[in-house]
Structure 1
Amino acid sequence: MNVVAVGEPDLWINEISFSDDSPTGGDTVTITAEVANDGGDSGVVSVTTNVTFYWDNNYIGTDMITIQGDSTSDAEMDWEAVGGTHTIKVIVDEENAIEESDEDNNEEEEDINVNYPPILFVDDDDSENNGGFSLETDPYYTNALENISIGYDTIRVGSSEDGPDIDTLSEYTMIIWACGSDYASGDTDVTFTDNDKTNVADYLNDGGSMWVIGHDILYDFDYVDGERYEGDFEYDYFGISYVDHDRQTPPVTYGVDGDPISDGIAYDTDALSSDFADDINPRDGFEKVLSSNGDYNISTIRTEEDYKLVFMAFDFSSITDTEDRDEFMENIVEYLAVQLENDVSLSRFNTPKNKETVEPGVENIVNLTVRNRGTANQTSVEVSIDIRCLNNTYRFSEEETVSINAGEGAFVEFEWDTPDDEDYEYEISAEAAISDDEKEDNNFKKVEINTYVTYDVAVSEARVDPMIAEKDTEREMSVIVTNTGDMTMTPDISGKVYDGA
C-alpha cells in the first residue's frame, strides 16, 4: 500500500517520442520522454530527479533532469536500435527518492518497430560486458563493420546463457558469431550451448549464412585430437574432418590463390592473449581459406553448398593491422551477405557421393541439390549431367529444366542405366545455369565413382527353437544374413541338421 504525501508534487510522463520512428538496427535513436511536474498544492515546487530508460526490460541508461513546478522537462537517452518490435519503457524517480502525491503513475511505455539490418553480430566472448572474465574482442568486429559502412545489429550473450533463438537468427542475411577466447569452465559455461547448436543447425539448414570464430569451440566439443565424423556437430555444420588442437596462430597467415575471400592475402597475426588456435582439415564440400602458406596450420575454411559458412579457428583480433581487418571483414561480408538478383548454384551431389562404389548393370539415381541464391524467382534453371568413363569407352548426358523460387532449393534427379562392366571408373559432372546468371563460379561440381564391386554375404546369430526337444518334435531354425558387399543379391540360404551323438 502506498502512503499518499498530501500536498507533495506529482510526477508523470506525458509522452515518449523517437528521433526516428522507423529506424534500422544499428541506427542511433534518441528517445525523448516529456516529464510533467504539477508542483504540488502550491504549484511551484521544483523537482530534480532521475529518469531511467529500458528496451524490452534491458537497461539503456539514466538521465537526470530538473522540472519546475506546474511545468514539463524533457529527458533524453540515445539507444542503439536492434531489429524487431520492441517496448521502450521510461520510469521517472524509479528509486522513489521523491515524495509524491501519487507514486503509481511514474511509468510509461511505447512500442517501436526497427527494421532488420543485413548482419547480426553475436558477441559471445564471455568478456566483462557479457558478465564474464575473458578478453573483450567485440570492438575489433564492430569497428571493422563501421569502417566498411555496413548496417548491423549487436546481441550480447550473457555468460553461460544461450545465444539468439532461431526466430531472431532467421531475420538476418548473415550472422557473425564471435566466441573470442571463451572456453568451457564447468557444466554451464560453454562456448556453444546445446540450444545454440540446435538454433545454428536450423538456421543453416534453412540456407543461412554464418561466420563462426573461436579458438576453443572445437576443444569444448571434443578435446581429443583426431578425426571427426558424420553426426558430430563440428563435422556436419562447421565442416571439420580433422582437428589438431592448440597449434597456435601462425605469425603470418596466407590466403589461397583464386579463393573468393582470401586470394592474395598475407596478414601479420599476433594473438592478444593465450593462443589456442587449432589446425583443421575440411571435409568434402568445404574449402581451405587461410593457412600457414601450405597444407598445414589450416585455420579457416568455408562452404557454400547447402548454406554459406566460414569457420575460423583463430580470433579475428589476432590480425594486427586495422586495414587488414577491414579488408578481411569486407571480403567475408561480400562472400556471405551480398545477394545478387540472379544467382543459381549447384550445391551438392546427394547420390552418389565422391569416391563411392555403385552397382553396375542396374539403374542408379543421380540426385543433386540446386539452389536459387538470388532475389528473383527462376522459372528456367537448366540442370545437366555428363557422365564419362575414364577409359573413354562410354558417355551419357541428360538435362532437366526446373523452377526454383528465390532463396529456395530443389532436388533434381536423373536415372542412369549404368553399364554392366565391373572395375570401371566414371566422372560425373553436373551444372546448373540460367541465362543471366550474375555469379557462375558456383554452377559446377563433379564427383568420381567406380564399379569396384564386392560380393559378400555374412551369416550370424543362427539358432534353433526350441534348443532341446524330444524326437520328432518340429523345430524352427533361424539365421541373420547380412549383405556386406556392394551388390544387391538374392542368395540361396540352406540349413543342415547333423545327427549328433
Structure 2
Amino acid sequence: MLPLSAMNTLADEGDPDLSINEITFSDDSPTGGDTITITAEIANDGGSSGLISVTTNVSFYWDGNYIGEESITVPGSNTADAEMDWKAVGGSHTITVIVDEDEQIRESNEENNEENEDIDVAYPPILLLDDDNSSNNGGTRTETDGYYTNALDNMSTSIGYDVIRVDSGQNAPDYDTLSEYSLIIWVCGSDYQSGDTDITFTDEDKLNVADYLDGGGSLWAIGHDIMYDFNNADGDRYEGDFEYDYFGVSYIDHDRQSPAVAYGVDDDPISDGISYDTSPIMTDFGDDLNPRDGFEKVLSSNGDYNISTIRTEEDYKLVFMAIDFSSFSESSDRDEFMELVVEYLVEQLENDVALSRFNTPKDGYTVEPDATNTVNITVRNRGTEDQDSVQVSIDIRCLNNTYRHTDSET
C-alpha cells in the first residue's frame, strides 16, 4: 500500500502536460557583455478536458550555470512565454530551459520538460576575471569585482567586456579561452593561500598567463597577496621566478600597506599627475615592489618608497598592482584610473594579425626522421577589420645547420 503522499503525486492520464515548444533569443549573434532576452514558449495541453490552467516556474541555465527563473501561468490548450535576461559571455554556449524543475505540478508526462538551444557569442575585447575568492566565488574573502564593473560601465567610450568568476580554489579559464581577449583584468582582491587548495594563482594559471602574454595578450593583474602566494619571503626575485619573468618584480617587501596617498609618476602614460587618496576596504597587506629592467613604476608614495604598481610594454603589455583597485577612496578616481589603464593596455587597430602559438609539434616533441610531420599554428585577428588572404610563412632549420625547410600558405 502506497502512503497517501505518494498516491497524491502519481500522474494520471487526465493530468495536464507541460512542454517547451521553442527557445529563441532577442539577438542571435550577440557579443560578450550584451544583455539579451531568452524566450521560452511553454505549452500546456490542459489535461483530458483541455481546460486545466497551470502556474509554474521556468528555470534558465547557460552551460549549466544558473541564470534565473520566472513564474508564469499557462492556460489550458494554450501557450505562454517565459522570458529571462542574460548578460552574454563570449564563446559557444548551450542554453537550457526547464519547466517545473522542482516537479511541483502533477503531469501526465514528466519527460518533456527540458530543452536546449545553442548560441554563439562573439568575444569582446576585455575579460574581467573575478578570482577574489569572495562569496560569489564560493569563498569568504572581500568581494571586489563590483568596483571594476562599475568603472568599466562608466568609461567615456563604451567597451565590451565579459565577466567570468573562478570558483574557490579552482584554475582560471584555459589558454584557449584567455587568448580570445585583448585584455584580461585579473582581480584577486585579498585572496591568498590559506590551505592546499585555496591558491590565488595556481600553477596552471601561471602557465596559461605566460602563454597568453607571450602570444601578444595584455594583462592587468591586481592583488595585494599574489606575491605572498608565489614566495612569502621578503627580498630579491630572480630570472626563473614567475613574478620576476612576467610581473617584472625584482624585489619585494611584503605587507607594507597601501600608501595613504597613491602618487603617479611624472610623464608616465598612465599615472602622470595622479594623486589618489586610499582607504582599503579589507585588511591591508599592500606590498612595496622594485621593478626589474624593462618595467617602470606607476604608483608610489611619492618617491622610490612603497612602489605599489608597475608596468611594461617592452615584450608585452602588463600592469601589476600590489594594492587593490578598490582602495582608491573616490569612485571618480577609480573611473579615471580604469580609463587610463584600459587606454594604455588596449590598442585596437584596424589591422592587427598575429601568430598566436604553435599547436603541433609541441615544445620538446621528438620529430621522427623520414616521416611527414604536420605543423599546425594559430593565427589570431585582434584588429577591428575582417582579414582574408593572410600569408603565413615558416622557416625550419636544424640546430646543426644540416637541414632547412621553408613553406608558406595563404
User: How far did 1:340 drift?
Assistant: 3.4
Structure 2 CA distance for aligned equivalents of residues 231 and 264 of structure 1: 35
| Alpha-carbon contact 1:28-1:79 (below 8 Å) kept | yes
Which amino acid counterpart does residue 252 of structure 1 have in structure 2?
Answer: V
Which amino acid counterpart does residue 76 of structure 2 have in structure 1?
Answer: G
| 1:326 aligned residue (326, 331, 335) | 335
SS of residue in 2 equivalent to 1:90: strand
Match of 2:311 in 1: 302
Structure 1 CA distance for aligned equivalents of residues 38 and 108 of structure 2: 27
Which amino acid counterpart does residue 64 of structure 1 have in structure 2?
Answer: S
| Alpha-carbon contact 2:10-2:106 (below 8 Å) kept | no
Which amino acid counterpart does residue 294 of structure 1 have in structure 2?
Answer: G
Q: Which structure dedicates a bigger proportion of its chain to strand?
A: 1
Gaps of 5+ in 1: 345-372, 378-404, 411-501
Correspondence list, 1:405-444, <5 A: none
Q: Which runs of 4+ in 1 moved over 3 A?
A: 340-344, 373-377, 405-408
Match of 1:78 in 2: 85
TM-score where L is the length of structure 2: 0.83
Structure-2 change in CA distance of 1:376 and 1:295 (3 Å): same
Question: CA offsets, 1:367-396, max 9 Å, x none?
Answer: xxxxxx99599xxxxxxxxxxxxxxxxxxx
Match of 1:349 in 2: none
Question: CA offsets, 1:174-209, max 9 Å, x none?
Answer: 000000011111010011111111111111111110
Structure-2 change in CA distance of 1:20 and 1:316 (3 Å): same
Correspondence list, 1:52-131, <5 A: 52-131=59-138
TM-score where L is the length of structure 1: 0.68
Structure 1 CA distance for aligned equivalents of residues 26 and 191 of structure 2: 37
Which amino acid counterpart does residue 83 of structure 2 have in structure 1?
Answer: E
SS of residue in 1 equivalent to 2:198: coil
User: How far did 1:305 drift?
Assistant: 1.6
SS of residue in 2 equivalent to 1:95: coil
Q: Does 1:293 align with 2:302?
A: yes
User: How far did 1:406 drift?
Assistant: 11
User: How far did 1:219 drift?
Assistant: 0.7
| 2:345 aligned residue (327, 336, 340) | 336
Q: Does 1:264 align with 2:278?
A: no
Structure-2 change in CA distance of 1:29 and 1:407 (3 Å): farther
Q: Does 1:204 align with 2:213?
A: yes
| 2:226 aligned residue (214, 217, 220) | 217
Correspondence list, 1:21-420, <5 A: 21-148=28-155, 149-341=158-350, 375=383
Match of 1:350 in 2: none
Match of 2:406 in 1: none
SS of residue in 1 equivalent to 2:341: helix
Structure 1 CA distance for aligned equivalents of residues 168 and 52 of structure 2: 46
Structure 1 CA distance for aligned equivalents of residues 169 and 92 of structure 2: 26
Structure-2 change in CA distance of 1:137 and 1:235 (3 Å): same
Gaps of 5+ in 2: 1-8, 354-380, 396-410
SS of residue in 2 equivalent to 1:212: strand
User: How far did 1:343 drift?
Assistant: 9.2
Structure-2 change in CA distance of 1:61 and 1:95 (3 Å): same
User: How far did 1:142 drift?
Assistant: 0.2
User: How far did 1:339 drift?
Assistant: 2.5
Structure 1 CA distance for aligned equivalents of residues 246 and 220 of structure 2: 12
User: How far did 1:112 drift?
Assistant: 1.0
Q: Does 1:9 align with 2:16?
A: yes
Structure-2 change in CA distance of 1:406 and 1:144 (3 Å): farther
Question: CA offsets, 1:413-465, max 9 Å, x none?
Answer: xxxxxxxxxxxxxxxxxxxxxxxxxxxxxxxxxxxxxxxxxxxxxxxxxxxxx
Structure 1 CA distance for aligned equivalents of residues 383 and 105 of structure 2: 57
| Alpha-carbon contact 2:189-2:324 (below 8 Å) kept | yes
The count of corresponding residues between Structure 1 and Structure 2 is 353
Question: CA offsets, 1:101-129, max 9 Å, x none?
Answer: 11111111111111111000000111111
| Alpha-carbon contact 2:182-2:382 (below 8 Å) kept | no
Q: Percent identity of the aligned residues? A: 71
Structure-2 change in CA distance of 1:190 and 1:71 (3 Å): same
Query: How big is the alpha-carbon RMSD for the aligned residues of Structure 1 and Structure 2?
Result: 2.2
| Alpha-carbon contact 2:190-2:223 (below 8 Å) kept | yes
Which fold has the larger relative contact order, with Cα–Cα distance below 8 Å and residues 6 or more apart in sequence? Answer: 2
User: How far did 1:342 drift?
Assistant: 7.7
